[in-house]
């Protein structure tokens, strides 16, 4: 192990040597490049999910490479991208920033090419989705985890209280006669 901080090459969020699709217009690649660089520069908007600006820059670089691979028809390499809230948030920011950039392009790019590029971003986002149990765990461990538990408990308590009230009403025969089997079942409720 080396002692002290090592000076590494800065992360290249947009690698000029990275994959580029011949079927996509240069204006689309430029809009993607501008979007990715804009997301990297807005790292403060995702800092609640990140340890540092360097972590954000590294993830944006990996995501950018994967999006470019997918848009170029290659199988995207997501081996270094964790399936977590930060990665999903960055993909969403890239997508929304790209959509804003595409709206401002004049003349507008070919619709099929735009859909192809947005489809590539969507495929990356889908591969980063976690199963629902993992997503629920992420939410519980987040800053609003306790609030989520209180909200779920409240949402469950309201219908359960109503069910119990109705069962007691039926059990006491206030809504008409109840046979012994029904009374036992209502007692179980």
Please report, for the chain, the start and end positions of each structural domain, with discontinuous segments joined by +: 26-130, 144-188
pLDDT band at 155, cuts 50/70/90?
Answer: confident
Q: Which of 85, 67, 80 is nearest to 31 (CA)?
A: 67
Q: What is the distance between the alpha carbons of residues 10 and 98, in angstroms, rounded to a whole number?
A: 24
pTM to 2 decimals?
0.63
The pLDDT, as a whole number, for residue 10 is 57
The CA dihedral of 166, 172, 175, 181, to the nearest 10 degrees, is 90
The pLDDT, as a whole number, for residue 131 is 64
pLDDT band at 2, cuts 50/70/90?
Answer: very low
Pick the range with the lowest mean pLDDT from 72-76, 153-157, 165-169: 153-157
The pLDDT, as a whole number, for residue 22 is 65
pLDDT at 7 over 60: no
The pLDDT, as a whole number, for residue 21 is 64
pLDDT at 50 over 50: yes
pLDDT at 3 over 50: no
For 89-112, b/e burial (b = at least 16 CB within 10 A) is bbbebbbebbeebbeeeeeebeee
pLDDT at 4 over 60: no
The pLDDT, as a whole number, for residue 32 is 92
């Amino acid at each position: 192990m080396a002692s002290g901080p090592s000076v590494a090459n800065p992360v290249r969020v947009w690698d000029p040597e990275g994959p580029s699709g011949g079927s996509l217009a240069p204006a689309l690649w430029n809009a993607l490049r501008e979007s990715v660089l804009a997301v990297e520069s807005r790292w403060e908007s995702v800092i609640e999910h990140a340890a540092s600006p360097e972590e954000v820059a590294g993830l944006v670089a990996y995501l950018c490479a994967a999006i470019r691979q997918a848009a170029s028809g290659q199988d995207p390499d997501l081996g270094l991208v964790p399936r977590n809230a930060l990665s999903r948030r960055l993909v969403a920011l890239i997508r929304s920033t790209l959509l804003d950039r595409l709206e401002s392009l004049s003349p507008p790019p070919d619709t099929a090419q735009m859909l192809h590029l947005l489809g590539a971003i969507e495929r990356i986002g889908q591969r980063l989705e976690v199963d629902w149990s993992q997503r629920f765990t992420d939410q519980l461990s987040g800053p609003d985890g306790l609030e989520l538990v209180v909200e779920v408990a409240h949402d469950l308590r309201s219908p359960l209280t109503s069910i119990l009230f109705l069962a007691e009403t039926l059990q006491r025969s206030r809504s008409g006669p109840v046979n012994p089997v029904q009374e036992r079942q209502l007692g179980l409720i």
